[in-house]
Structure 1
Amino acid sequence: MAKQYVLTDAGLKKLEQELEQLKTEKRKEIAEKIKVALSFGDLSENSEYDEAKNEQAMVESRIATIEAMLKNVKLIDDDQLDTEAVNLGSKVQVFDVEFDETVEYQIVGSTEADPDQNLISDESPVGRALLGHKVGDEVEAETPAGVLKFKVLNITK
């Protein structure tokens, strides 16, 4: 059975937009690069042609990957999210004991994770540690950098 990809509505839209951009703009751009490279003549020593063909292969690979992912998407339904405990799709505000600061994370599937945007995977050490906890719980996450301690302050959709 194929792997199921868990996405929020925003994550699904982002993937669909990326697929559309790759299929329309990027394919045309690469086709033009190949056409220009072909005009240079001898393909045996044509690095522009090789580079364009490699880029084309990467784009086609990414298109195939996204299409396969979209066939096996499980969408997180915001209406069914429980704010009593941290779940996939929850936005959770925590107090980071080590850094003495409050941080808000959204727990998402691994496909959608982007730590720079505070979107953390349910498979990451911190995401996995937070799952199932309630407001007021103190949580320890075993990470490569050591044990991180958090206190759950708030859970929203």
Structure 2
Amino acid sequence: MGAVSYYTKEGLNKLKEELNNLKDVERLRVSQAIAEARDKGDLSENAEYDAAKEAQGLLEMKISKLEDTLATARLVDESQLDTSKVLVLSTVKIKNKSNGTEITYTLVSENEADIKTGKISVNSPIGKGILGKSVGEVAEVNVPSGIIQLEILEISR
């Protein structure tokens, strides 16, 4: 069993929908593909059957992984979170001290991370670097291009 992961209501619902889709829709589709391939005759020389069975194995593995993730998932009540320091689900405005760039990120679990929408994982280098910091503090973050200094300008939910 994996470590506990914290999710927003939206993120948790998305995981549940994906699991239901895999179980209710994809399982049926793969079963039908296996049945069709089996109907074509000799299984020892049937590439379609082998491919369908392999797809079934991969699907079951994905379902199992999602079930494990959901078993350790915890819903976070954003209204109860402290805004004096950066935590999971904090929306943080930071300033890169070397070039003056300001950017806003929301720290989320690894499965909810989406850089296009400004959601970064708490396990990313920046996420780890700013976690636990307060407004006005400067975090030194080790990123692939070297060490950058990020000043915490604002924390909200």
TM-score normalised by L of structure 1: 0.87
2:112 partner SS:
coil
Q: Which residue of 2 aligns with 1:63?
A: 63
Give the gaps of 5 or more residues in structure 2. none
Deviation at 1:29, TM superposition (A): 1.3
Q: Could you list the per-position Cα deviations for residues 64-112 of structure 1 after superposition, in whole angstroms to 9, with x for gaps in the alignment?
A: 1211222222222101112221111111122234564332211122333
Distance 2:99 2:57 in 1: 44
Structure 1 contact 6–111 (Cα < 8 Å) conserved: no
Q: Which residue of 2 aligns with 1:95?
A: 95
Structure 2 contact 37–46 (Cα < 8 Å) conserved: yes
CA distance 1:54–1:145, change in 2 (3 Å): farther
Matched, 1:110 2:75: no
Q: Which residue of 2 aligns with 1:28?
A: 28
Distance 2:72 2:148 in 1: 33
Which amino acid is the alignment partner of residue 135 of structure 1?
Answer: V
Give the gaps of 5 or more residues in structure 1. none
Deviation at 1:153, TM superposition (A): 2.2
**Identical positions, percent:** 36
Which amino acid is the alignment partner of residue 129 of structure 1?
Answer: G
Q: Which residue of 2 aligns with 1:76?
A: 76
Matched, 1:6 2:6: yes
**RMSD (CA atoms):** 2.0
